[in-house]
């Protein structure tokens, strides 16, 4: 019987690393014998002794029967799943595999418009047709909050032939949707609910955190163990429960989106992260919540600054209180400016700036000293640095930095299917087209303005006059854009006018 | 002006790791502050200080403009490419991206029958139709040697509408095809040649090694920097030259098959590996070749043992002399037995056993002491261990272990296209079908016997009587199988008889 006190993969790897062994296998550095001084100086020497291939003692990620199977089974227990798969290619590959396992070419997938790039890649790889649901948007915070059960229900009523529903919860800012209600609605159609819970792997370990998606009934849940817990970057997990997602197809899909030479450093760090949380998770999370609360209180005293609170959200949404989001627009500076200042003047580095917000991740890795430095730095920013900055950086500040929030136009809701699937748009040749001539063409790219952080155009969609007008308004309002190949937005990348020669999916 | 004495990504990462900084970004361990004692014990502490996200100082893998761009550019120079892309998801993702960038749904890709699993994944993801070319097979060595220019020319004559040619060179055993001739033929059709050079990243650094595929004219070359050089497992490179592969589409494809949170440990280890080879590559390779030569000479004296030599190959093929392959059948034991014995009795671990062969990788990480231990262990194996083993393990030994090589039937050459594309086979439901009833059905899986290591069935192919007869003969002859979900081979996984409801690609 396995116990959460064990870490079978860590133990096996450690043992292999210590065993005297003459290596005529990969990797080429042979347990560190072949690395240069430079290499050792940056990564340390120990890591190379355990950078090992799939030796018999170390099991096999794609046909796990020993230590990886044990480690995954302990993780399933700790995170509340029936079955857990370790991922060596980040949550990206988990989202893609979940889509490939549930949606074939032409199948409909219901998902929020402000989805992560990996879901768009999943659409391209699978050939699925997106049915986009608009997220709730908060004008005051200039932030996409998340999708509601009502919006998912409406999409399912209109598209009862969909094959799966995918939602993002929590968002980057820690806002969680009502996964329980969405899961109940989705299951009414016998469909699997996939939850991109990349930012929520800690939820299972403290009652004051939002309810984990698995507990709320989700079928497939992808978590970035590295983002919030202690795994190495790029190490994630995919959890499954119930029978709505074909596990055989999921396993096949997982093999396609990951290296056949997965890194044992990444895999073992998932076992170590699980071991840490299973044994000390509730203490660590209580401490993390307390640190975040202390920071939130300090920052809220620094008027006119404000931080995102549970009270700012409607009852349908729940905030992960370890996530701190500052509204910098109340200071008259952008999130980008605040980020740069804090980083350069105080060596305090946040996670994500947007035009008006700045988000910080407080995790089990932060200390009381970190929180103190954060408080001091922001205090200094508010009291002594903002005024001169406001003058010197005037050009960077959105025109309505007067305290009134700019109203950024939201993309028109897209309940209709795109003209081409994202896959067709990917495989069809594209060309740059002047913005003025783009009406009626098919977009070959995603164009997403921040704010609102909800794409105006997605690959495969017909470009409407309204969309072009909105892009122009957003640009004038000082929004920043991602996805578009021409940063000036003078041209849009469009699918070449002649119809493609390949079949529709 | 950059110099090969520099390692820009390593330097930037080291600097970020040393800088005092309060981290409110991913990963959750915050520069190692949050890791457990267990985690530190297995991976060392240093690695966590440099396990950092895409901080501004560290550039961005998918839009490189600073230190990653510099590191990739130095790598391109060192390996002889125009442009190099670092891969954090192994050569697997490089092969897939090369196929996605060159072949759309329904497009024909010419490739050897004994291709790596990643190419089959590339076919599934892209929807391309495989045109399989049979590799030359050596009955004496029971080994697929590689594809000839003549075979590629024939496939191109029959399928001039193909979109790309993909070959594997070197093979696992270090056998290189005539990439120059194949590249010239492929370019006559204005097609790109993709070379899976996973086992050949060292070729550019010594004249006694086979000619690198890039120098021989290949357009896209994927190398597992980790397999033979000193990068961490899962860190690879994709090199490009010329205009035959659309680089914009390649870059988009590379973004789909890799994590949006790539590990800087993996990326920096590519920079360190390049730095080592650019500055000391020829000395390191001369030393490695000398060690391998010493081992080869010692082993060849241990009659009746024999090692694969250049003289065993026809003139069209070239052997990487750092790869050692033993023919264990001359000892009357299997490669699996020899592998187990060497590992358990002498702690000498090889890379790859097959039924009759055992392959060792000699790399820059091996020492004179390693070679000595290898020689001693194999000597002991031949002189004192094989006879008792032959008796005790009789059942495992192929029936013709008398010294005469078993003749394993080769799959019938498949110049015709499969009935379904591998993509269709993946997305169509499948079921187990008794072997006797499988004739005329469509295979949903790869079934590959070793020997000969050339698949008898591929997903999407109609199952012929001949194929079934061959599988039965191979099983009786003691071959081992991979790919098939029923290890007993009593059933085969077949596409469900009713036609799928989705379009043909």
Tell me the shortest Cα–Cα distance from B136 to chain A, in angstroms: 25
Neighbour-count burial of A25, counting CB atoms closer than 10 A to its CB (0-12 exposed, 13-18 middle, 19+ buried): buried
Asked whether residue B501 carries a pLDDT value surpassing 60, the answer given is no
With contacts defined as CB-CB under 8 Å, which chain B residues touch A44? 44-47
pLDDT grade for A403, boundaries at 50, 70 and 90: very low
The pLDDT assigned to B444 comes to: 93
Asked whether residue B180 carries a pLDDT value surpassing 90, the answer given is yes
Say how many C-beta atoms besides its own lie within 10 A of residue A248's C-beta. 11
pLDDT grade for B392, boundaries at 50, 70 and 90: low
The pLDDT assigned to A479 comes to: 82
- What DSSP state is assigned to residue B443? B
Instruction: Determine the average pLDDT of the residues in A213-218.
Output: 98
DSSP line for A307-318:
E--GGGS-TT-E
Lowest mean pLDDT among A68-77, A96-105, B415-424: B415-424
% of chain B with per-residue pLDDT over 90:
81
| Per-residue pLDDT tens over the stretch B121-169 | 999 999 999 999 999 999 999 999 999 999 999 999 999 999 999 999 9
- Contact assessment for residue A59 and residue A67, using Cβ atoms and an 8 Å cutoff: yes
Residue with tokens 């009381």: A368
The pLDDT assigned to A281 comes to: 98
Lowest mean pLDDT among A42-56, A123-137, B120-134, B415-429: B415-429
- Are B229 and A28 a contacting pair at CB < 8 A? yes
The pLDDT assigned to B7 comes to: 98
With contacts defined as CB-CB under 8 Å, which chain B residues touch A258? 89, 92
Task: Give all strands (DSSP E) within A90-180, no chain letters.
Answer: 108-112, 129-133, 136-138, 143-146, 164-168, 175-176
% of chain A with per-residue pLDDT over 90:
81
The pLDDT assigned to A499 comes to: 53
Neighbour-count burial of A459, counting CB atoms closer than 10 A to its CB (0-12 exposed, 13-18 middle, 19+ buried): buried
Tell me the shortest Cα–Cα distance from B48 to chain A, in angstroms: 8
With contacts defined as CB-CB under 8 Å, which chain B residues touch A14? 41-42
The pLDDT assigned to A389 comes to: 61
Q: Which one is predicted more confidently, A405 or A401? A: A405
Q: With CA atoms as reference, report the closest residue to A455 among A407, A419, A410, A390.
A: A410
Instruction: Determine the average pLDDT of the residues in A398-405.
Output: 47
Q: With CA atoms as reference, report the closest residue to B149 among B53, B70, B217, B207.
A: B217
Residue A141 to residue A138: CA distance in whole angstroms:
5
Residue B72 to residue B265: CA distance in whole angstroms:
15
Top residue of A13, A28, A127, A228 to mutate, by most chain B CBs within 10 Å, is A28
| Per-residue pLDDT tens over the stretch B20-61 | 999 999 999 999 999 999 999 999 999 999 999 999 999 999
Asked whether residue B397 carries a pLDDT value surpassing 60, the answer given is no
With contacts defined as CB-CB under 8 Å, which chain B residues touch A366? 23-24, 30, 33-34
Tell me the shortest Cα–Cα distance from B467 to chain A, in angstroms: 24
Whole-Å CA distances, A325 to A195, A299, A472: 23, 10, 28
The pLDDT assigned to A84 comes to: 98
Comparing alpha-carbon positions, the chain B residue that sits nearest to A94 is B259
Asked whether residue B395 carries a pLDDT value surpassing 50, the answer given is no
Whole-Å CA distances, B371 to B290, B292, B325, B348: 10, 8, 14, 10
With contacts defined as CB-CB under 8 Å, which chain A residues touch B275? 36, 38
- Contact assessment for residue A443 and residue A432, using Cβ atoms and an 8 Å cutoff: no
CA A125 to chain centre: 19
The pLDDT assigned to B404 comes to: 53
Whole-Å CA distances, A297 to A30, A160, A173, A330, A373: 52, 46, 17, 17, 14
With contacts defined as CB-CB under 8 Å, which chain A residues touch B227? 26-28, 261
With contacts defined as CB-CB under 8 Å, which chain B residues touch A268? 42-43
Which of A13, A27, A231 has the CB atom closest to B232's CB atom?
A27
Lowest mean pLDDT among A321-330, A410-419, B495-504: B495-504
Most confident of A396-405, B145-154, B405-414: B145-154
Instruction: Determine the average pLDDT of the residues in B406-431.
Output: 84
With contacts defined as CB-CB under 8 Å, which chain B residues touch A324? 24
Mean pLDDT value across chain A = 92
With contacts defined as CB-CB under 8 Å, which chain B residues touch A43? 46-47, 50, 232, 265, 268-269, 272
Comparing alpha-carbon positions, the chain B residue that sits nearest to A427 is B104
- Contact assessment for residue A79 and residue A257, using Cβ atoms and an 8 Å cutoff: no
Q: At what angle do helices B264-300 and B8-18 cross, to 10 degrees?
A: 120
Asked whether residue A485 carries a pLDDT value surpassing 50, the answer given is yes
**A350 Cβ neighbours under 8 A, 6+ residues apart:** A338, A339, A342, A343, A358, A359, A360, B24, B25
* Residues A455/A457/A458/A463 CA torsion (nearest 10 deg): 170
In the three-class reduction of DSSP (H, G, I as helix; E, B as strand; rest coil), residue B119 is classed as helix
Which of A33, A104, A350 has the CB atom closest to B365's CB atom?
A33
Residue A223 to residue A207: CA distance in whole angstroms:
18
Instruction: Determine the average pLDDT of the residues in A198-221.
Output: 98
Q: Which one is predicted more confidently, A269 or A414? A: A269
Asked whether residue A249 carries a pLDDT value surpassing 80, the answer given is yes
Peptide bond into B170 cis (omega under 30): yes
- Are A230 and B42 a contacting pair at CB < 8 A? no
Asked whether residue B10 carries a pLDDT value surpassing 90, the answer given is yes
Residue B444 to residue B187: CA distance in whole angstroms:
34
Residue with tokens 């014995």: B341
Tell me the shortest Cα–Cα distance from B93 to chain A, in angstroms: 7
Ordered alpha helix ranges (H), B80-205: 90-102, 117-126, 149-158, 179-188
Tell me the shortest Cα–Cα distance from A377 to chain B, in angstroms: 11
Q: Which residues pair with B432 in a beta bridge?
A: B493
| Per-residue pLDDT tens over the stretch B443-482 | 999 998 888 888 999 999 999 999 999 999 888 888 888 8
% of chain B with per-residue pLDDT over 70:
93
- Are A105 and B427 a contacting pair at CB < 8 A? yes
Bridging pattern class, strands B22-23 and B220-223: unpaired
Asked whether residue A119 carries a pLDDT value surpassing 70, the answer given is yes
Comparing alpha-carbon positions, the chain B residue that sits nearest to A8 is B38
Mean pLDDT value across chain B = 92
Residue with tokens 């997106």: A130
| Per-residue pLDDT tens over the stretch B62-110 | 989 999 999 999 999 999 999 999 999 999 999 999 999 999 999 999 9
Which of A19, A233, A261 has the CB atom closest to B90's CB atom?
A261
Which of A14, A48, A362 has the CB atom closest to B24's CB atom?
A362
């Amino acid at each position: 019987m396995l116990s959460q006190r064990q870490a079978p993969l860590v133990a096996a790897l450690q043992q292999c690393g210590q065993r005297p062994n003459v290596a005529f296998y990969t990797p080429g550095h042979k347990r560190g014998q072949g690395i240069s001084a430079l290499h050792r100086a940056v990564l340390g020497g120990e890591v190379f002794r355990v950078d090992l291939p799939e030796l018999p003692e170390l099991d096999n990620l794609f046909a796990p029967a020993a230590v990886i199977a044990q480690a995954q089974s302990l993780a399933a227990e700790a995170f509340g799943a029936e079955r857990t798969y370790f991922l060596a290619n980040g949550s990206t590959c988990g989202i893609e595999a979940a889509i490939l396992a549930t949606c074939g070419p032409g199948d409909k997938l219901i998902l929020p418009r402000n989805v992560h790039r990996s879901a768009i890649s999943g659409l391209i790889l699978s050939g699925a047709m997106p049915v986009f649901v608009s997220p709730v948007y908060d004008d005051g915070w200039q932030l996409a909050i998340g999708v509601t059960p009502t919006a998912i229900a409406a999409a399912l009523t209109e598209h009862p032939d969909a094959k799966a529903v995918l939602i993002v919860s929590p968002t980057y800012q820690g806002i969680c949707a009502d996964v329980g209600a969405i899961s109940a609605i989705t299951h009414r159609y016998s469909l699997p609910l996939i939850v991109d819970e990349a930012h929520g792997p800690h939820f299972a370990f403290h009652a004051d955190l939002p309810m984990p998606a698995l507990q709320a009934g989700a079928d497939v849940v992808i978590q970035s163990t590295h983002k919030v817990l202690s795994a190495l970057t790029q190490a994630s997990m995919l959890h499954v429960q119930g029978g709505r997602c074909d596990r055989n197809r999921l396993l096949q899909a997982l093999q396609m989106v990951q290296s056949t030479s997965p890194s044992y450093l990444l895999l073992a760090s998932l076992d170590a992260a699980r071991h840490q949380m299973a044994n000390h998770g509730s203490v660590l999370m209580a401490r993390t919540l307390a640190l975040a609360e202390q920071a939130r209180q300090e920052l809220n005293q620094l008027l006119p600054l404000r931080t995102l609170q549970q009270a700012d959200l409607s009852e349908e949404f729940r905030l992960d209180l370890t996530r701190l989001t500052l509204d910098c627009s109340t200071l008259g500076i952008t999130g980008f400016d605040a980020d740069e200042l804090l980083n350069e003047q105080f060596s305090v580095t946040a996670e994500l700036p947007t035009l008006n917000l700045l988000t910080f991740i407080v995790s089990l890795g932060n200390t009381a000293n970190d929180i103190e430095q954060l408080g001091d730095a922001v205090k200094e920013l508010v009291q002594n640095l903002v005024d001169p900055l406001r003058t010197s950086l005037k050009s960077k500040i959105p025109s309505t930095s007067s305290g009134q929030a700019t109203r950024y136009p939201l993309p028109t809701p897209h309940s209709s299917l795109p003209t081409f699937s994202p896959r067709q748009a990917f495989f069809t040749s594209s060309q740059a087209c002047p913005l003025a001539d783009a009406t009626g063409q098919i977009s070959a790219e995603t164009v997403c303005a921040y704010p609102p952080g909800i794409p105006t155009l997605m690959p495969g969609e017909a470009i409407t006059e309204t969309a072009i007008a909105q892009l122009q308004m957003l640009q004038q309002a000082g929004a920043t854009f991602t996805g578009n190949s021409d940063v000036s937005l003078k041209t849009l990348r469009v699918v070449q006018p002649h119809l493609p020669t390949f079949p529709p999916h």
